[in-house]
Structure 1
Amino acid sequence: MTTENLHSEPQENNVNNTENIVNESINPESSPASENHDEEIHDEVEQHEHEKLTSGELMNKLEALINAEDAGANHRKFNAIKETLLQRVNVEIEDQKHQHESEGKAIADFKFEHPLQSKISALSNIFKEKYDHFHKKQEAEQKDNLEKRQQIIEKLKNLYSNSSANTNLFRAIREIKEEWSSAGQVPKTEFKNLNNNYFFHLNQFYQMLDLNKEYREQEYAHNLEKRNQIIARAKELQHEPVIQKALNELQFLHKLWKEEAEPVAEEFRDKTWDEFKEISNKIHERKSELLTQIEGEQLANLEKKNEIIESIKKLTASSKEPNHNYWQQAIKKVEELRSDFLKLGSVPRKLSNQNWNDFKIALRAFNSSKNDFYKSLKNSQHTNLEEKLKLIKTAQDNMNSEDWDIAVPLFKKLQEDWKKIGHVPRSQTNKVWDDFREACNTFFNNFRAKNNAQTDDWKENYKQKRALLDELKEIGNDEGSVEKIENIKTSWNNIGKVPRDKMSINTEFNKTLREKLKLNRINEFDLKEEGLSESQITDRARKVKNQIADLEAEIVKLENNLGFFGKVSRDNPLLKDTFEKIDEKKAQLESLKSTLHHIISGE
């Protein structure tokens, strides 16, 4: 075969054969529509994975992308992560807005800046600069690559039209194809025409090569080996655990198949292509499995989120009569439900907006019902505040009182009434309690201090009265008995109080006194105290008058204090001692009035 034959014009039948070779190598999965579909699937998978990461982990991914040398080439990944973060930021801002509204504050006063907002904005500005730089660099590289590819096409054209007789066509076409494969990207607007031009001249070369059986067989054998390598790697990809990784590499294998594994001998064309296509289809079937898995997880998330929404609705429309404790527990539960809702992953995209709107509506309805309750509660709290202020005023007016018989039960009742009154506005809670507690503590501290101070004196008084009583019991109706009785009574009246638990000695003394007076056949008012001068008698009358005035004042005060109690009755255990005290003081008052009468009249 001569050199001229190698460079002669291709025959018509060879042209048709070459077209068949080119046509059978085109993979439908590598079409632009299919590539866009794969990109959408890839975005869907990445979005699903992003939902599983925390905001902090996503921020770390953003920073890692920016710090990568090819940062600008990752704009799809960067924007996808940024979009996920901004969605979360918006959710949290919306949540803060709901909290602001739930506290009864005006929405116009809402101000909140999420801590991630400024950082995302800063990272976006940095990335934009890197992307702009990458884009300009890419344009320059693509322009250079365009020139390189045009030069490669010229070299290919010269190979089959102007090559010398000593040219090793097999080696030359290998070098051209390797150069073409590694020449890099060109502008998208130039790619289609450039690619068609290259394959046109490549087909022209193969038509010329058909005239030389030796070269053709070498080329076929080389390409068949390349196809078998691609098929072997595709088989391995069937077991790749990361489905998206398998899909990405499969797309690259189809590119190699088209650019470096054409043509082969006719008996291997359909066989190898069918095998490769079958493996490709199996790998793409796994893509469906992945989407089915994601769809199943999203539907499960949707079901859980809808259950959370229903739970919030039930808490809002409770069949029970809501009180403060109910709403406090409900608020805590809704916070837990809200947190669980936000932690759940994505839902089907077509239902995402509706699901989110349902969640916001449920939260707003809950907050509205809660706010209505606390507005009505606020009114009742003001009424409660007025009631407690009245108790405080009563406590403060009587906290220095030493009329223990009436004041002690009064303060006990004040404390009981305080417990029955409900809540007051939170801003006043501590103040009113402190004021009430201070008044109560002042009274009871005085009460304890007075009791402790008087206890010893009263014990001594009791001893003296006990001795006088014993002495009185020994008196008979002998001569001088009346004088002894008069002396004992005078001494008795000059002794102060005795302990409360010993007060029965007064009753015993009066009873014994009446017995002794009866025994001696004299009236109590006939008793005189010997040795008293006229001035002393006057002093005694003055003292009795003072005692009468004090007793009258005490009786009035005791009766007035009874007015603090809602139901005044002798059957009331708290007031029993008070009524007895009033009766005793009235009896003493009548006795003192008679005594004063006898002192003044000199009878």
Structure 2
Amino acid sequence: MINEEAKEIKEEIEAQAIEVTESATNTPAEEVSILEVAATPEPTETISEVTPEPILVSAVLETIEETETTDSQAIDYSGFQKADFVKTLEKVLAEVKENPSVGIFRKSEDTLKEVRPLFEQIKSAEKAEALAKFKEANEGSEDGFEFKLDAASEQFDTLFKAIKEERSKYFANIEKEKDKNFSQKTVLINRLRTLVEGEDSSDPAHIKSGFNEFKKIQEEWKTAGNVNSPHNNTLWQTFHALVDRFYSNRSIYFELLELDRKRNLQHKIELCSKIERIAETSKTENVTGKMLDEAVATFEEYKHVGPAPKEENELIWQRVKDALDIIYGKRREQLEASKAEAEQVFALKTSIAELIQPFASFNSASITEWNDRTKALLALQDQWNNIKGFMPKEKGKELSDKFWSDIKTFFRNKTEFFRLLEIKREENLKAKNAIIEEVEALLANEDESQEATNTVIRLQKEFREIGHVPEKEKDVIYSKFKNVCDTFFNLKRAKNQTLEKEFEANLVNKIALCEQIEKEASEGAETTRLAEFKAQWSAIGFVPKKEMQNIGKRYINAINKYVSAMAKLSGREREQLSLQNEVEMVRAHGESPKDLIRKENDIRRKMQTIENDIAVYRNNLEFFAKSKNADKLRQDVEAKIQKAAKDLSDLKHQIKIIREAER
């Protein structure tokens, strides 16, 4: 009888060992990659075979979290600003506080390693820029330079430190918990050893109480957490060797074991059904991280359930294996689909990056060309940003770095162009201030001679010939120059009151001349008569200053009306003749009327529009040259280019007439 009982004990222990070994050898391919099942070597106790060491749930969950982290696509931080990095760290800090885990902290470490260098680059660039400005303001010296971090940089460093502290605190707690669990499991082993060595199989009451104590120790062992890996294997070997001895010493073992097997079978069926429901859901839905965690946790619990009857155990294991194969098969399909989508996104962004590359070497002396290129680059950048989805991690990062590097190079070159342009404008501002000082010197000397008047007129011409000044100074410097010139001529007029009466008479004569021109314009117009009107106007002389603009406008309008009535002239000839009349007015009075300046600006705006249109037409021609059956479209575009070129030539001629007046 005793030999038969010992034989059944050995068979039961072998069944337990076979069950866990099958879990290791029959695990689906995907599952084996994340669940490490290791066979336990022979224990130091006197038992020949023991149950292998079970899988640690925490190790599985950590591995799953690593898989989730690996599966997640990388974020492109290259285009982030400082505020964006601060928001990213705030999100990471909130995440590690809300849901601390090994996977979350590893993910946070990856994020910190990626964003910290980029943020430091921005800080270094700001410091270099500040140092350059400091040296520029201090004749190239760095003495006394101090770079203070802004609020965003300080907030970034604070968040970075807080995340590190949370990580240290989390893993310190894990180590403390492992040490506590080691002590607890050591106490449980000692309790079990005392129970086994003090076993009295002859006393039914002792057998019952001993079994209850044994089950209690088992439950406490099961709920005890992980310990440090150097001790884990030894503890499991010792514990299961003592369990084996406990069952070997009891004659009631067989009845209890059979009951446990039936209960274990029922428990395994429930866990299997749960995994099968997840597998069924995966057929119609994507396998999420939550579903995968639930399946792994259920499988982990399944493996911790004790042995069941052998035949039923094999069948239920096959069901579990089939369900897990479905789940991980669907997971692999999702990953492959994600890779294909990433390759497609990479191909689209590669084509845009190739279009961006020439911008890095662009250079021009034209503000218009820089602005046009900027608009084109920003449009390509919008196309890049509008392509949603992730790229393959390594080559996607390389492509993204090259893309943003080319954009940054373009804007650095543009900044340098406008910096040099601003230097030239500052020089123009100094030159114009010097002219104003000359006029102010004439005012201070109260010199209203004709020579002084000619000097002021000459300075007015020089002032107009000087190029642009900084935009914020444009109106100020013009008003200042106009005021000093007006003051000079007003003082001159104040000392020549006798001329005012003559000016009034001239005004009457000019009004009469305008009326005559307007009248003859409605009766018929001749070129010879137009020259006579101009000669009469020039011979009349000056009018009161307050009436100069009004009578000048009336005269120009009358002449333009007269020119419009000259039927023998073409539209272009009439337009050129009208503009010539205005130019002659400028030469006669030595001034630059606002209307004429405004006309010049309008002409230049039209020229810019026509130049842009010509550029677009030529781009279209390049496109049509690559297309078949596009001859008709190409001819239409070439006709448009010729017409635009002719219009541009006319406008340039008008600008030339205005410039001659300014000389």
**The two structures share one fold, judged by TM-score above 0.5:** yes
Going from structure 1 to structure 2, the CA distance change for 1:86 and 1:31 (only over 3 Å counts) comes to closer
Amino acid at match of 1:255: E
For structure 1, which segment, 187-196 or 320-329, has the greater mean C-alpha deviation from structure 2 after superposition? 320-329
Counterpart of 2:367 in structure 1 is: 324
Q: Distance in 2 between matches of 1:432 and 1:410?
A: 20
Structure 1: tracts of 5 or more residues without a match: 462-495, 505-570, 579-603
Question: 1:288 matched to which residue of 2?
Answer: 332
C-alpha distance in structure 1 between counterparts of 2:435 and 2:318, whole Å: 97
Q: Give CA-to-partner distance per residue, 1:87-110, whole Å, 9 cap, x none.
A: 335324424655777899489989
Q: TM-score, normalised by structure 1?
A: 0.60
Q: Is this contact kept in 1: 2:268–2:316, CA < 8 A?
A: yes
Gaps of 5+ in 2: 39-58, 136-141, 511-582, 591-663
Kindly state the Cα deviation for residue 234 of structure 1 after the two structures are TM-superposed. Answer: 1.0
- Aligned AA (2:296): Q
- What letter matches 1:500 in structure 2? N
Quote how far apart the aligned CAs of 1:82 are. 5.1
- 1:248 aligns with one of 264, 281, 293: 293
Which of 411, 416, 438 in structure 1 is aligned with 2:480?
Answer: 438
How far apart in 2 are the matches of 1:17 and 1:104? 76
Correspondence for 1:23 among 11, 21, 24: 21
2:224 equivalent in structure 1: 183
Deviations 1:82-131 (A, max 9, x none): 54256335324424655777899489989574243321244146426634
State the AA in 1 paired with 2:36.
S
Aligned to 1:196: 237
- Larger C-alpha radius of gyration, 1 or 2? 1
Structure 2 residue 414 is the aligned partner of structure 1 residue 370: yes
- 2:307 aligned with 1:266: no
Give the direction of change, closer, same or farther, for the CA distance of 1:397–1:292 in structure 2 (3 Å limit). Answer: farther
8 Å Cα contact 1:220-1:264 kept in structure 2: yes
- What's the CA shift for 1:213? 5.8
TM-score (norm 2): 0.55
Q: Distance in 2 between matches of 1:206 and 1:326?
A: 91
| C-alpha contact 2:96 2:104 (8 A) present in aligned 1 | no
Is the 1:62–1:78 contact (alpha carbons within 8 Å) kept by the matching residues of 2?
no
SS across alignment from 2:225: coil
- In the alignment, what sits opposite 1:234? 275
Distance in 2 between the 1:21 and 1:577 partners?
111
- The answer to whether the 8 A contact 1:243-1:286 is kept is no
CA distance in 1, matches of 2:75, 2:276: 26
1:88-167 alignment to 2 at 5 Å? 88-95=115-122, 97=124, 105=132, 111=147, 113=149, 114-124=153-163, 126-127=165-166, 130-131=169-170, 133-135=172-174, 137-151=176-190, 153-154=192-193, 157=196, 164-166=203-205, 167=207
Task: Quote the offset at 1:190 in angstroms.
Answer: 1.5
Q: Cα offset for 1:312?
A: 3.9
1:221 corresponds in structure 2 to 262
In 1: Cα distance, 2:183 partner to 2:448 partner: 107
Distance 2:346 2:148 in 1: 29
Report the AA paired with residue 308 of structure 2: V
Residue identity opposite 2:111 in structure 1: T
Quickly say closer, same or farther: Cα 1:195–1:48, change in 2 above 3 A: farther
Q: 1:195 and 1:338 mapped to 2: Cα distance?
A: 60
Contact map agreement 1:58 1:81 (CA 8 A) in 2: no
Cα distance between partner residues in 2 of 1:194 and 1:346: 46
After superposition, residues 52-71 of structure 1 pair within 5 angstroms as: 55=85, 58-64=88-94
| Cα-to-partner distance string for 1:268-312 (whole Å, 9 max, x where unaligned) | 122100100111122222332443355356445545654564454
Relative to 1, partners in 2 of residues 1:283 and 1:335: Cα closer, same or farther, differing over 3 Å? same
Give the corresponding residue for 1:522: none
What per-residue deviation string (whole Å, max 9, x for no partner) do you get for residues 298-348 of structure 1?
Answer: 445545654564454233334x84523443565677689779979987643
- Match of 1:80, as an amino acid? K
Amino acid of the structure 1 residue aligned with 2:64: D
Conserved 8 A contact 2:127-2:147: no
Residue 526 (structure 1) aligns with? none
| CA pair 407-25 structure 1, distance change in 2 beyond 3 A | same
- The structure-2 alpha-carbon separation of the partners of 1:287 and 1:157, relative to structure 1 and needing over 3 Å to count, comes to farther
| 2:111 aligned to which of 84, 90, 96 | 84
The CA deviation at 1:176 is 4.7
User: Does the 8 Å CA contact 2:278/2:327 hold for their aligned counterparts?
Assistant: yes
Q: Output the amino acid matched with 1:179.
A: E
Aligned in 2, Cα 1:209/1:394: closer, same or farther, shift over 3 Å? same
Contact in 2 for aligned 1:209/1:215 (Cα 8 Å): no
Alpha carbons of structure 1 residues 575 and 23: separation in structure 2 relative to 1, 3 Å: closer
Distance 1:151 1:307, change over 3 A: farther
Residue 41 of structure 1 aligns with an amino acid whose one-letter code is T
Q: How far did residue 228 of structure 1 move?
A: 0.8
Is the Cα contact below 8 Å between 2:96 and 2:166 reproduced in 1? yes
Aligned 8 A contact 1:396 1:439 in 2? no
Contact 2:345 2:391 survives alignment (8 Å):
yes
- 1:15–1:313 Cα change, 3 Å: closer
| Counterpart residue type for residue 265 of structure 2 | L
Distance 2:323 2:472 in 1: 78
CA-to-aligned-CA distance 1:332-386 (integer Å, 9 cap, x gap): 7768977997998764333355335424642454255335634664675576457
Indicate if the aligned counterparts of 1:234 and 1:280 stay in contact, CA closer than 8 A.
Answer: yes
What RMSD in Å do the two structures reach over aligned CA positions?
5.2
Supply the distance in 1 between the matched residues of 2:245 and 2:450 (Cα, whole angstroms): 124
Tell me the percent identity: 16
Task: Give the aligned length.
Answer: 466
Q: Deviations over 1:136-194 (max 9, x none)?
A: 53243122232244246537856999585453598776545433321222221121232
| 1:500 maps onto 2:506 in alignment | yes
Aligned CA distance change for structure 1 residues 172 and 435 (closer, same or farther; 3 Å):
closer
1:313 counterpart (333, 343, 357)? 357
Partners of 2:221 and 2:76 lie apart in 1 by: 38
CA contact (8 A) 1:15 1:207 kept: no
Q: CA deviation at 1:389?
A: 5.3
SS in 1 for 2:226: coil
TM-fit CA distance, 1:50: 11
Provide the C-alpha distance between the structure 2 equivalents of 1:143 and 1:288, rounded to a whole number of angstroms.
Answer: 38
Counterpart residue type for residue 190 of structure 1: H
Query: Structure 1's 322 and 252: CA in aligned 2 closer, same or farther, altered over 3 A?
Result: same
Contact in 1 for aligned 2:105/2:167 (Cα 8 Å): no
